[in-house]
Structure 1
Amino acid sequence: MRGGRQTILGRRHPTQVVVLGFLAVIGVGTVLLRLPIASEPSADIGLREALFTSTSAATVTGLIVVDTSTAWTTFGQVVILALIQVGGFGLMAVSSVVAVVLARRIGLRHRMAAQAETGALRLGDLRSVVLGVVGWSLVVEGAAAVLLSGGFVVIHGEGLARGTWMGLFHSVSAFNNAGFALQSDSLERYVDDPWTTGIISVAIILGGLGFPVLMELRRQLGSPRWWSVHTKMTLTTTLSLFALGALAVLALEWTNPDTLGALGVGDKLTASWFQGVTPRTAGFNSLDYGALREGTLLVTVVLMFIGAASGSTGGGIKVTTFALLGFAIWAEVRGQREVEAFRRRLPGTAQRQALAVALIGVAAVVAGTLALVTLSGIDLTSGLFETTSAFSTVGLSTGVTDTLGGPSEVVLGVLMFAGRAGPVTLAAALVLRERDSRYRYPEERPLVG
């Protein structure tokens, strides 16, 4: 019986291992957060709140139904931080590191499962990628924690212990694009503090670039001509979206008295830059999203849906998916038979996979918005914003998350889980299912448009 069970588990598809792993992490987190020492007596934490918080932390989303700073004890906050770290590393990356250290080898199926989670570009590079995940994460998080701690203590007058804890918590949350904060207003009180928001922005960007890109930049930083198409596409699209997002917030909110209108020019530039970065699945906010104009919310929804890079700590359909579809449209407009980018042809299989991921993402957001609006009665804008934030594992909110009720929280929980595990496992499943057909049907062209 034991051998049969091990055989069955051993034959699981790598994407199933990823999904089951995340479910296990969420379950453990829920149990820990339900312990009496995890929450304040006045918070009245039940199973619903613990499950939602565990799901949000493990999927590095950041949506909350109870205040992280007041509802949870230090132990509870440590549990949340651990869930964020595991979710950011990727469960399979963490288990692969253990396998490397203990067994000095990784089985093929386990390597495929870890590849599905980390976004490794070549299976043979998996060991170095997984170890690189840990190395990069610890270096960036450690540096950000030291700098942020210094700012909280020196600039904002926090005590040494409190400032150090805040620096560590926010560095891990930022690099993993989680968006959890130890202040009730997220980072609104630091809207005019370029030190705090600047360091967090850098951590968000590095975490959102993706480990394959970071590895390649480390190896060939001074030789951009030798960068892969993936790295070129990721960097170009990411920088473009950062700039467009920041300019859009600056232009649309310049005169809004409830957001940028009351700030000086320098603070407006700082705040708009931060709000251009954070929708890329980070989830922090230095402006009140409930006070943003409709146009700004729409721009933010688009940025959230696109998300961060493949193999990163962020969510969304990924910038490479978005860029690949853009290159396909450009080729069609120009009448080109082949889709090209950076002097390379892009295979048709990648185009179909990008289209599948994008359309399934659209379907998830539309279905989630319909469910949320129907169940909770909130307006369409808030429903679309909340749904996109959950699916793209962003964590931004217009302030309605804790007012939605149980059924709507279930919808958001499913979207958060699907958004974290779904696109990764879907893309991996599509790749692993590729096969050549033994026959071809006659070609016939339908009308388009």
Structure 2
Amino acid sequence: MFRPVIPAAIAHPVRLLPLSFLALILVGTLALLLPVARAGQHAPDFMPAFFTSASAVTVTGLASVDTSTYWSPAGQAIILVLVEIGGLGIVALATVLGLFIGGRLGLRTRLVAQADMHVVSLGEVRPLFQRVAVVMMSFQVVIAAILTLRYRAEYFDSWATALWHGVFDAIMAFNNAGFSLNADSLTRYAGDGLIIIPICVGVFFGAVGFPVLAELFSGWRRPGRWTIHTRLTVWGSLGLLVVGAAGFLLLEWSNPGSLGPLSWHDKLVSGLEGGIMPRSGGFNSFDWGQVRPETLSFATVLMFIGGGSASTAGGIKVTTFLLLAYVVLAELRGDPQVTIGSRSIGPRVIRTALTIALLSVMLVTGSTWVLMLLSDIPFDHALFEVTSAFATVGLSTGLTVHLSVASQLVLILLMFIGRVGTITAASALVLRRRAPRYTLPEEQPIIG
């Protein structure tokens, strides 16, 4: 008999993850279909409820209807809960609750958590979730407090309204979901650093990834002892932040549709936003439909890269992108191994990175083609919308609300795959993997 490569105890939790997210999307749809969730006298329609639930659970932020006017405060609260659960992860949330309530973790729960959070060893699961809960709540409370004070001082006359907006935006920021209680997102706050910068900070750290935050929490004073994963994620995220902000400022500085009318101070604040939000934030203080085509392409690349692994961000992930860059560098140098610092990278990790990248390229390319067939939209806008859905970013050039039902279903599928992950989704469809009992002779086809 053939020996299975993936043990059944681990394969089953891997398959359970997509089903868990799908179940939450269906539950969220039913909750949003309640009459109390819709503003006004009309009952909610199915497609807006389904699309909004999928976007919230996958912490994307794409909206087919205006969140501020279509949904009532009860509906907005449902969206908030779905985003919070989806951001932390269904399994992660259940594990954290089990820790605080029962103080024990079963083996199956640890295996499910291991598959969801990409933890290397089972022994890391319990301390990781404890730190995740503390760090996540701390970020959200601090950001909510800063935003509430600013909203009350400058924009709202009621403390209750300021608090609701502050809490809502803080949770959306850290979970990298772009839902907003304003029809124009952050446009009315353009250039206000006391609002834009705290939201950007929440988006940045939410996109770093839970394992990295846990390691930074315990060893931030010793960067020389960080793991390769943490080094790649931290320095890669900072590098992409600088490149993204600088590139956005250079391309949009004089554009009358975006940064042109702003003062230099407001331009710098918006430039920081333009460098962070395409990584998975989804908020916007300017109209992405008015940016230059070069900026749209530049942002599409940032969205495709995404944030850190096991984070609220999407994309192929920073570590995957940088690892492939090291693979190319090693090949150009003729090195026999791919090395990062004083560590070598195994072929299995390289194959996984290549698989994720190629599957993502095929998925985004094919979905762009399908979206162009279903809707009469230009290529660059279709690619931007598709990448935003796949990378769970939530930015839009304004097309989402005008798309047909079939096109919205394409975006829902992309958001689901982008949140669950291409490897996890593929693993969930494979019942058993078997290793061959023999190896075949090698042959080298001509490459290039």
TM superposition score normalised by structure 2? 0.94
The residue that corresponds to 2:397 in the other structure is 398
Distance verdict in 2 for CA 1:376–1:344, change over 3 Å: same
Q: 2:220 aligned with 1:221, yes or no?
A: yes
Distance verdict in 2 for CA 1:120–1:427, change over 3 Å: farther
- Which moved further from structure 2: 150-159 or 100-109? 100-109
Distance verdict in 2 for CA 1:423–1:158, change over 3 Å: farther
Distance 1:41 1:296 in 2: 39
Q: Deviation digits for residues 390-421 of structure 1, max 9, x if unmatched?
A: 00100000001010111101111111111111
The residue that corresponds to 1:351 in the other structure is 350
Cα deviation for residue 137 of structure 1 reads 1.1
Distance 2:441 2:328 in 1: 26
Distance 1:12 1:442 in 2: 30
Matches within 5 A, 1:265-304: 265-304=264-303
Q: Secondary structure at the match of 1:13?
A: helix
The amino acid across from 1:331 in the alignment is A
Cα deviation for residue 110 of structure 1 reads 2.2
CA contact (8 A) 2:257 2:290 kept: yes
Q: Deviation digits for residues 85-128 of structure 1, max 9, x if unmatched?
A: 00001001011123334443323232121122222232211011
Q: 2:319 aligned with 1:320, yes or no?
A: yes
CA contact (8 A) 2:229 2:319 kept: yes
Q: Deviation digits for residues 63-85 of structure 1, max 9, x if unmatched?
A: 00111111111110100000000
Distance 2:31 2:53 in 1: 9
The residue that corresponds to 1:236 in the other structure is 235
The residue that corresponds to 1:256 in the other structure is 255
* Percent of paired sites with the same residue: 44
Q: Secondary structure at the match of 2:279?
A: coil
CA contact (8 A) 1:281 1:392 kept: yes
The amino acid across from 1:244 in the alignment is V
Distance verdict in 2 for CA 1:235–1:435, change over 3 Å: farther
Distance verdict in 2 for CA 1:42–1:332, change over 3 Å: farther
Q: Secondary structure at the match of 2:94?
A: helix
Distance 1:391 1:292 in 2: 21
The residue that corresponds to 1:152 in the other structure is 151
Cα deviation for residue 132 of structure 1 reads 1.9
CA contact (8 A) 2:35 2:44 kept: no
Q: Secondary structure at the match of 1:345?
A: strand
Q: Secondary structure at the match of 1:209?
A: coil
Q: Secondary structure at the match of 1:286?
A: coil
Distance 1:142 1:332 in 2: 47
Distance 2:211 2:380 in 1: 35
- Which moved further from structure 2: 114-123 or 197-206? 114-123
Cα deviation for residue 11 of structure 1 reads 8.5
Distance 2:42 2:64 in 1: 11
The residue that corresponds to 2:62 in the other structure is 63
Structure 2 residues without counterparts, runs of 5 or longer? 1-7
Cα deviation for residue 267 of structure 1 reads 1.2
Q: Secondary structure at the match of 1:362?
A: helix
Q: Deviation digits for residues 353-400 of structure 1, max 9, x if unmatched?
A: 000011111111011111111001111111101000000100000001
Cα deviation for residue 427 of structure 1 reads 8.5
Distance verdict in 2 for CA 1:347–1:427, change over 3 Å: farther
Distance verdict in 2 for CA 1:330–1:10, change over 3 Å: closer
The residue that corresponds to 1:5 in the other structure is none
The residue that corresponds to 2:139 in the other structure is 140
Distance 2:150 2:377 in 1: 39
CA contact (8 A) 2:16 2:428 kept: no
The residue that corresponds to 2:5 in the other structure is none
Structure 1 residues without counterparts, runs of 5 or longer? 1-8
The amino acid across from 1:442 in the alignment is P
Q: What's the RMSD between the two structures over aligned residues?
A: 2.1
The residue that corresponds to 2:34 in the other structure is 35
Q: Secondary structure at the match of 1:340?
A: strand
The residue that corresponds to 1:195 in the other structure is 194
Q: Deviation digits for residues 154-181 of structure 1, max 9, x if unmatched?
A: 1324420000000000000000001111
CA contact (8 A) 2:15 2:428 kept: no
- Which moved further from structure 2: 37-46 or 250-259? 37-46
Q: Secondary structure at the match of 2:61?
A: coil
The residue that corresponds to 1:387 in the other structure is 386
CA contact (8 A) 1:59 1:417 kept: yes
Larger relative contact order, structure 1 or 2 (CA cutoff 8 Å, min sep 6) = 2
Distance 1:83 1:160 in 2: 25
The residue that corresponds to 1:184 in the other structure is 183
The amino acid across from 1:211 in the alignment is F
The residue that corresponds to 2:335 in the other structure is 336
The amino acid across from 2:192 in the alignment is D
- Which moved further from structure 2: 11-20 or 267-276? 11-20
CA contact (8 A) 2:132 2:213 kept: no
- Which moved further from structure 2: 251-260 or 417-426? 417-426
Distance 1:74 1:117 in 2: 31
CA contact (8 A) 1:118 1:130 kept: no
CA contact (8 A) 1:357 1:427 kept: no
TM superposition score normalised by structure 1? 0.94
CA contact (8 A) 1:392 1:419 kept: yes
Distance verdict in 2 for CA 1:274–1:28, change over 3 Å: same
Q: Deviation digits for residues 37-68 of structure 1, max 9, x if unmatched?
A: 00112666301110000000000000001111
- Which moved further from structure 2: 375-384 or 289-298? 375-384
Distance 2:423 2:104 in 1: 24
The amino acid across from 2:213 in the alignment is L
CA contact (8 A) 2:34 2:44 kept: no
Matches within 5 A, 1:354-365: 354-365=353-364
Q: Secondary structure at the match of 1:278?
A: helix
Distance verdict in 2 for CA 1:427–1:368, change over 3 Å: closer
Matches within 5 A, 1:356-435: 356-423=355-422, 425-426=424-425
The residue that corresponds to 2:165 in the other structure is 166
Distance 1:43 1:391 in 2: 32
The residue that corresponds to 1:48 in the other structure is 47
